[in-house]
Amino acid sequence: MFDITDLSVPIVAAPMAGGPSTPALATAVGDAGGLGFLAAGYAAPATVAEQIRQVRSATTAPFGVNVFVPGAPADPAAVAAYRAELEPEAARYDADLPEPDPGDDDHWDDKLALLVDDPVPVVSFTFGVPDRDVVQRLRAAGSAVLVTVTSPGEAAAAVSAGADVLCVQGPEAGGHRGTFDPEADPDPTPLPALLAAVTAMSPIPVVAAGGIMTGDDVAAAMRAGTVAVQLGTAFLRTPESGARRAHKDALADARFDTTTLTRAFSGRWARGLRNGFVDAHPDAPAGYPMVDQMTKPLRAAAAALGDPERMSLWAGTGYRAATEEPAATVTTRLWERARNSR
């Protein structure tokens, strides 16, 4: 079974659902000695299977697949009210808002069956901890199991379920917070303090995530007792990233001078560049995945027009350090700098 402590370069490319994580990105980071990831979130099982095939055909390096853990249905009244609020946005782009599907579990059973029948070295989970029997099935198939956590309590639950590795995500992270309870406000504890709390109680290896953009950041996380670091925003502008051009450009655009947490795009807290859509919908409900379903055509229409003001521009707090270098170069540069500063 894969052991994350065996990586020659302890850098993990964060799974970024919705397009940024590609087989090419996973391959490049893996070939550089790190661990690449595919993001199964939002993707059809057949798409996930094809991406796995592409990575295997391109490299022998280990890689992982990330899966979203489904949660309880949201309040339909709150979602309906938000749908009405979004109607002017839809009219702006001549887009139709879909009727939300409260039963959407992101093909949970089918994705688990795929990963049990055709195992990959690592399976990671976001938005919750899977049942212990799910963890056991994946481990029996030969996959190490990693769970994203945002608090010591979540870490304890993941350990109890049999996880092999914890990914401790601080509030500085870009994209969705991995907080198990979608109704809860995310834990604001900065990553260094959060790492100290979790590493002190965890009997399993810990990976650090959240705002890590430089070699010095990598070194600091490793000194805190972690075995690896996970970076997403640092890879967003690379040629291998599947992020939209407008998203990549916004990370270097002086107009976008801060990040913020918002539920406006998906109904779950996520950190991204502050833009017009975020400002227009400060009170979006905790309605994942139905809110995500409703805003999808709006985001797609904005992206097609190259309009970053209505796109979900996910980014961590250190986004200005993202470069357009190849992913392998980013990986190697960060680790070389980290080794020199430890």
- Look-up: residue for tokens 């994580």? 21
165-169 and 63-68 beta bridge pairing: unpaired
pLDDT-based confidence at residue 342 (cuts at 50, 70, 90): low
Q: What is the mean pLDDT of residues 34-60?
A: 98
C-beta separation of 34 from 42 below 8 A: no
Does the structure show a pLDDT above 90 at 73? no
Give the pLDDT confidence score for residue 211 in this predicted structure: 96
Does the structure show a pLDDT above 70 at 128? yes
Listed by start position, the domains of the chain span: 11-70+105-241+322-341, 74-104+257-312
Identify the H or E element spanning 230. Answer: strand 228-231
What is the average pLDDT score of the chain? 97
Per-residue pLDDT tens for 282-294?
999 999 999 999 9
pLDDT-based confidence at residue 334 (cuts at 50, 70, 90): very high
pLDDT-based confidence at residue 116 (cuts at 50, 70, 90): very high
Q: What is the mean pLDDT of residues 75-96?
A: 95
Does the structure show a pLDDT above 70 at 246? yes
11-70+105-241+322-341: what CATH class?
alpha beta
Q: How many helices (H) and strands (E) does the chain have?
A: 12, 11
